[in-house]
Chain A
Amino acid sequence: MITTEADPVFAMNLLLVGINHRTAPVEVRERMNIQEARLASAVSALAHRDGILEGMILSTCNRVELVTNARDEVEAAPILRSFLAEYHHCDLAPFEPHFYWLRQQDVVRHLFRVASSLDAMVLGEPQVLGQVKEAYATARRVGALDGALDEIVSRSLAVARRVRRETAIGSSAVSVSYAAVELAKKIFGSLAGKTVFVIGAGKMSELAARHLLRSGASAIFVSNRTYERAQELAQAFHGTAIRFEDLFATIDRADIVISSTGAPHFVVTKDQAEKLLAARKNRPIFFVDIAVPRDIDPAVNELDNAFVYDIDDLEQVVEANRLERQREAARAEKIIEEEMTRLQRRLATRELTPTIVAIEARLNRIREAELERFGGRLAALTPDQRRAVEALTRAIQNKILHGPLTELKDGADRPEHGNIVRLIRRIFGVGE
């Protein structure tokens, strides 16, 4: 019979210790880092410490976190402390101020928030979900997860997917080169079949071109003052190099122009752009001007169907997207609170199973004993009548149990539920 001192509603003993990019500088984080290659043995060692039931370790460049589910009566903090000190062969004292310690509900919330990328350096960046998945898989593989913590972490992955599905937290670009791709999609919809023209082969334009191609753009032209450099880059992208003098003979085929030359004057003027648009029969064209001084006359933006974004404009889009992500994060927090209530209820219901089984068993014993006692007087019954008596007593038992069991199952999220559970157990004479 499970009887515990702890609150029977949430009888887990969760503890999390961690450092992250907010609480610790990189020197501390790298000191506490647990290498990927050693992660499996580390998490296995952690889970095998006396008093620890389950454990998981998340170690990325932005955070190191140990989370455990300890045996109810065990205070896990010293165990985690000594584990870290022994693992890193160091005195933990200098690092203590960087640690944060979380317990019970706060551990659940934290895991949900981390997986959903609400605790990330770049809010909403999807990488961390993969890292949590990885840590979860490793811990499971070595048998360090098999109970409530297992369920909580696996739930956190589902919560993260829900956040991604129901909010736009990760959907807008927060880097300049991705902002260019995002804008291209706002203009063209799908980038399939679109042609990219790179003028001036620099690092930044190369990056933007790479993102565009990965997002579906099909053809690429590269033009540069030094033709060899253009050829080099064109080759890398399986594109076509264009001599700088022949720029305007080809550029009307481009849907997206990325320009980053070192030219001191405009490479594309308004007049040229007008001719370009006429040649394109007014199909839209998108200029990404990442050169300083600028390559594309900003007046080109006034032309119908021409869209010019310089480096500052792209930064502005990135900034707006950051704000948008923050707004979406507020909605994600609500989802997390909702999911916490749901999980808590489920865990609580599951924890009640032993109680329910015990009460049912006890009543059944009483019923059978009474049937036994009356055995002699019931001997004259036909098999049919005997079955009827059996069914009748069983029905009475179930009717009596219906009320208390409903109360047990449905009241799980009420604060006084712990007392109700104890009371019901007392009334039916099980445990305690």
Chain B
Amino acid sequence: MNADAVLLWLAVGLYGLGLALTVPSVARRRPLLSPSALGALGLGLGFHAASLAAQAAGIHRLPITDVRSALSSFTFLATLAFFLVYLRYRIASLGLFMLPLVLLLTLLSALRAGSSFESPAFRNRWLLVHIASILLGYVGFFLTFVAALMYLIKSRELKSKNPRAFYFRLPALEVCDHLYYRSLVLGLPSLSLGILTGFVWASRTWKGPWELDPKILASIVTWLIYLVLFATRLSGNWGGRRSAALAIFGFVAVLVTFLGISMWSGLHGYFPNLGGGN
């Protein structure tokens, strides 16, 4: 196994441990995570960073140009975002909402071992900016999704007037809303930049009707969903539950765009015909 793979597995193990350690904190209604949970996650994040650095040193560029490393970079950024959000809002239950997906995707990345393919296209700055900003956008939308999910559950409990498990453990509705808005502000411009740079790069590199690539179409749909969310949030036309529901659907669209389409997209999706120009 390569050094980066070993480091990634270490990160997976520590993330799993961190997740397991957040469960008792939340179950016991502690407002804060235990130092051991934070320690495990922090250490995991450190190994994860080292893994990415080792990978970057191996290929001499950002490790984002194949599914395995893009996933790894995404979950690294997501864990980093978890820390930032936790430090800002101090919500222990955030761990339960964010860490399972982080763990799952990091695990997928670790399982998808093997060397990445090479293409001269990867040297192109436009392409790297394209992928990096789209990943950052996805991290933003992941937070939007988590905020929306917490909002929906909390709102349902408040409306049912029957305090159950989450009544005591989730942040206030306005805190969810705050996080929701902030994450949209991060996600939407990043995705916009990503799509824009992608267009620029594609129009210079690819020939033929590349606009009809399924991944590009899915990205446009995703972008439109978040544009609607952002606009309705600014205007205040939509109630919280409707926005939250669409935000959850939006993240499903993100996952489909990010992972699903890659499996059968012709031009896109990290297959070695990139920049083929046929």
Contact = CB atoms under 8 A, between A and B. Distances in A.
- How many of chain B's residues touch chain A, expressed as a range? 20 to 34
A397 interface: no
A188 B240 contact: no
A53 B171 CA distance: 52
A186 B172 contact: yes
Given A186-B154, A189-B175, A320 B163 contact: yes
Contact of A321 (B28, B163, B236, B238): B163
A22 interface: no
B88 interface: no
Contact of A185 (B159, B163, B172): B172
A188 B172 contact: yes
B209 interface: no
B157 to A, nearest CB: 9
Interface in A311-360: 313, 316-317, 320-321, 324, 331
Contacts of A321: 163
Nearest to A317: B163
Given A189-B175, A284-B240, 20 more contacts: A166-B30, A168-B29, A171-B29, A172-B168, A186-B158, A186-B172, A188-B172, A189-B171, A189-B172, A280-B236, A282-B240, A284-B174, A304-B238, A307-B158, A307-B159, A313-B161, A316-B161, A321-B163, A324-B163, A324-B168
Interface of B: 28-30, 154, 158-159, 161-163, 167-168, 171-175, 235-242
Contacts of A301: 159
Contacts of B158: 183, 186-187, 307
B239 A281 contact: no
A187 B168 contact: no
Contacts of B240: 282, 284, 304-305
A212 to B, nearest CB: 15
Contacts of B175: 189
Contacts of A186: 154, 158, 167, 172-173
A283 B236 contact: yes
29 contacts: A166-B28, A167-B28, A168-B29, A186-B154, A186-B158, A186-B167, A186-B172, A186-B173, A187-B173, A187-B174, A188-B172, A188-B173, A188-B174, A189-B171, A189-B173, A189-B175, A280-B236, A281-B235, A282-B236, A284-B173, A304-B242, A305-B239, A307-B158, A313-B161, A317-B163, A320-B163, A324-B163, A324-B168, A331-B28
A313 B175 CA distance: 24
A317 B240 CA distance: 23
Interface centre among B162, B167, B235, B240 (most CB of A within 10 A): B167
Contacts of A303: 239
- How many of chain A's residues touch chain B, expressed as a range? 20 to 34
B19 to A, nearest CB: 22
Contacts of B242: 304
Contacts of A166: 28, 30
Contacts of B174: 187-189, 284
A277 interface: yes
Nearest to A188: B174
A166 B31 CA distance: 10
Interface in A55-113: none
A281 B235 CA distance: 7
Nearest to B171: A189
Interface string A171-196: 11000000000010111110000000
A304 B163 CA distance: 19
A136 interface: no
A309 interface: yes
Nearest to A283: B236
Contacts of B171: 189
A149 B125 CA distance: 75
Contacts of B167: 186, 320
Contacts of A331: 28
Contacts of B163: 317, 320-321, 324
B168 to A, nearest CB: 7
Contacts of A320: 162-163, 167
A424 B276 CA distance: 89
Contacts of B168: 168, 172, 324
Query: Which 7 pairs from chain A and chain B are nearest by CB?
Result: A304-B239, A281-B236, A189-B172, A313-B161, A320-B163, A189-B175, A282-B236
B236 to A, nearest CB: 3
Contacts of A305: 239-240
B114 to A, nearest CB: 47
Interface centre among A188, A304, A320 (most CB of B within 10 A): A304
Contacts of A284: 173-174, 240
Contact of A187 (B161, B162, B172): B172
Interface in A388-403: none
